């Protein structure tokens, strides 16, 4: 299947280089699972529901116990991650309700493949793979994605909302569940780019099936926000058993980087003024996602990096980072307090989730997380504090910050300038993003398991430059 420009738009061709296809091969997942689930088969089952769903559901639908890691050595169903016949066999039963979340969708048993198009021609798929295509509108809904992209745990007797993108989307202007509006956008509309008109299948011998040309076909590229991991897979594909080519993985990483840089968030400098030796302004961050930013896996964080320059020389800087991806000269392994006013280089606005264990100590262990100690991830537009799932998604640790609102945040800067700052001053602001901050990897360095050791080795050899989501400059004349 080719687009009008000759690009491969076949479902398998695009899917193969995504993190969906590599959800079980993902070396960070394997390292964390090894660390978290030692001696806990219950936790293994919870994680494998979504990271090895074919292997999981194949056993469960056959009336057998759910598989554990020791069952999955050389298991092709596990290594293929989230494949076609998982998502496209999910039925509409219970979608959007608690019973299907945390990786518990109801899968059909009749070899039906649910798709979005009306009147599918059945014969080609039946003849080739023994499935029957069926039109089903529920495959277009965010509730389908929400089955795995919502995870609530209860390891210590209290429910903990570990990952809540679907809940966040429901409580935003992007939601269409109470009726579509001009601002509604489903997960599929943002994360599966539309490719235009095409036949959605071809004969393996290269001939065309007698099937309609479809409008609105969406690419199965599943463009998310983790370009770092895609590049890691590309650089180590042979060791990790990745089937997609390095070139395909790099293309998907580039698409991810484009989405991060164009569709995720924007920033602007407001109220820039100089009064004597004091420079003041604010940086406004606007979240363009249909969920929090960052969202999903709780390691992810974003932060503001700001420089003030005079005649090209940096006279103030906050939020700088080192070559190994750490915030410069700041101990941030336990998170940083929410910042509303930046006055020194140590004041860094970081948008992140910090989870605590039952004793109240910050932790990167998912099995120990029992409460949100800080949650300053940017809210989506339209978020309501009395909206759906507010208890699980409401900000934590922002104090009385009235500028932290639905759709973004504004941070004040009041900087005492050095005597060297003269003439026109330039302010440069960046919004940076990391999927795997260094302190999350540090927690694996003392582990003796093979997967932890391998990920640490691959991580240490990787380029850890954070993604730049947005950058803006502004100038003000001298006094």
pTM above 0.85, yes or no: yes
3 located within any domain: no
Based on the domain organization, do 253 and 278 belong to the same domain? no
**pLDDT at residue 146 is higher than 90:** yes
Based on the domain organization, do 165 and 280 belong to the same domain? no
For the chain, give the percent of residues with pLDDT over 70.
100
Residue 351 pLDDT: 98
45 located within any domain: yes
Residue 442 pLDDT: 97
260, 282, 303 - which closes a domain:
260
Q: Model confidence over 442-467: pLDDT tens digits?
A: 999 999 999 999 999 999 999 999 99
Q: Model confidence over 394-441: pLDDT tens digits?
A: 999 999 999 999 999 999 999 999 998 989 999 999 999 999 999 999
Mean pLDDT of 2-31: 91
d(C-alpha 242, C-alpha 323), whole Å: 27
Based on the domain organization, do 339 and 284 belong to the same domain? yes
Based on the domain organization, do 168 and 46 belong to the same domain? yes
Based on the domain organization, do 254 and 268 belong to the same domain? no
Q: Model confidence over 93-137: pLDDT tens digits?
A: 999 999 999 999 999 999 999 999 999 999 999 999 999 999 999
239, 260, 281 - which closes a domain:
260
Q: Model confidence over 341-371: pLDDT tens digits?
A: 999 999 999 999 999 999 999 999 999 999 9
Residue 308 pLDDT: 98
4 located within any domain: no
Per-residue pLDDT band for 60 (boundaries 50, 70, 90) equals very high
For the chain, give the percent of residues with pLDDT over 90.
88
Residue 118 pLDDT: 94
Based on the domain organization, do 248 and 308 belong to the same domain? no
256 located within any domain: yes
Q: Which domain holds residue 201?
A: 11-260
Based on the domain organization, do 143 and 242 belong to the same domain? yes
Q: Model confidence over 281-291: pLDDT tens digits?
A: 999 999 999 99
Based on the domain organization, do 171 and 298 belong to the same domain? no
Residue 479 pLDDT: 63
Based on the domain organization, do 29 and 82 belong to the same domain? yes
**Domains contained in the chain, number:** 2
6 located within any domain: no
Q: How far, in whole angstroms, is CA 330 from its chain's centroid?
A: 25
Q: What is the mean pLDDT of the chain?
A: 95
Based on the domain organization, do 250 and 286 belong to the same domain? no
43 located within any domain: yes
Based on the domain organization, do 69 and 217 belong to the same domain? yes
Based on the domain organization, do 187 and 311 belong to the same domain? no
108 located within any domain: yes
401 located within any domain: yes
241, 260, 279 - which closes a domain:
260
**pLDDT at residue 3 is higher than 80:** no
**pLDDT at residue 245 is higher than 70:** yes
């Amino acid at each position: 299947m080719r687009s009008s420009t000759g690009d491969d738009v076949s479902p398998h061709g695009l899917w193969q280089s995504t993190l969906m296809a590599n959800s079980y091969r993902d070396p960070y997942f394997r390292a964390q699972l090894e660390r978290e689930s030692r001696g806990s088969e219950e936790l293994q089952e919870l994680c494998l529901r979504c990271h090895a769903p074919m292997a999981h559901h194949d056993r469960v639908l056959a009336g057998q116990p759910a598989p554990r890691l020791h069952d999955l050595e050389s298991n092709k169903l596990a290594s293929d991650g989230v494949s076609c016949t998982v998502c496209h066999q999910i039925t509409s039963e219970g979608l959007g309700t608690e019973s299907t979340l945390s990786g518990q969708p109801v899968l059909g048993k009749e070899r039906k493949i649910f798709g979005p198009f009306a009147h599918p021609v059945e014969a080609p798929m039946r003849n080739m793979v023994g499935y029957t295509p069926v039109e089903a509108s529920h495959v277009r809904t965010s509730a389908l994605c929400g089955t795995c992209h919502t995870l609530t745990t209860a390891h210590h007797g209290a429910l903990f909302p570990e990952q809540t993108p679907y809940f966040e989307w429901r409580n935003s202007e992007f939601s269409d569940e109470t009726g579509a509006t001009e601002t509604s956008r489903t997960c599929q509309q943002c994360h599966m780019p539309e490719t235009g008109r095409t036949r959605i299948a071809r004969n393996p011998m290269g001939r065309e099936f007698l099937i309609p040309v479809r409008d609105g076909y969406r690419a199965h590229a599943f463009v998310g926000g983790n370009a770092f991991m895609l590049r890691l897979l590309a650089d180590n594909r042979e060791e990790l058993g990745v089937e997609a080519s390095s070139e395909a993985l790099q293309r998907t990483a580039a698409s991810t980087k484009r989405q991060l840089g164009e569709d995720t968030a924007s920033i602007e400098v407001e109220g820039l003024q100089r009064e004597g030796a004091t420079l003041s302004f604010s940086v406004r961050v606007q979240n363009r996602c249909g969920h929090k930013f960052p969202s999903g896996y709780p390691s992810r964080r974003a932060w503001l990096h700001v420089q003030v320059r005079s005649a090209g020389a940096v006279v103030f800087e906050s939020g700088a980072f080192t070559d190994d991806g750490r915030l410069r000269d700041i101990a941030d392994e336990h998170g940083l307090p929410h910042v509303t006013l930046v006055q020194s280089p140590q004041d860094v606005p970081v948008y992140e989730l910090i989870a605590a264990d039952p004793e109240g100590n910050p932790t990167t262990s998912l099995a120990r997380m029992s409460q949100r100690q800080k949650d300053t991830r940017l809210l989506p537009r339209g978020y309501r504090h009395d909206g759906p799932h507010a208890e699980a998604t409401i900000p934590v640790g922002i104090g009385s910050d009235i500028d932290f609102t639905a759709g973004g945040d504004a941070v004040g800067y009041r900087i005492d300038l050095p005597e060297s700052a003269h003439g026109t001053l330039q302010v440069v602001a960046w919004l940076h993003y990391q999927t795997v901050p260094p302190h999350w990897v540090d927690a694996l360095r003392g582990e003796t398991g093979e997967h932890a050791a391998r990920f640490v080795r691959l991580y240490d050899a990787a380029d850890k430059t954070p993604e730049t989501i947005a950058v803006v400059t502004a100038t003000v004349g001298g006094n």
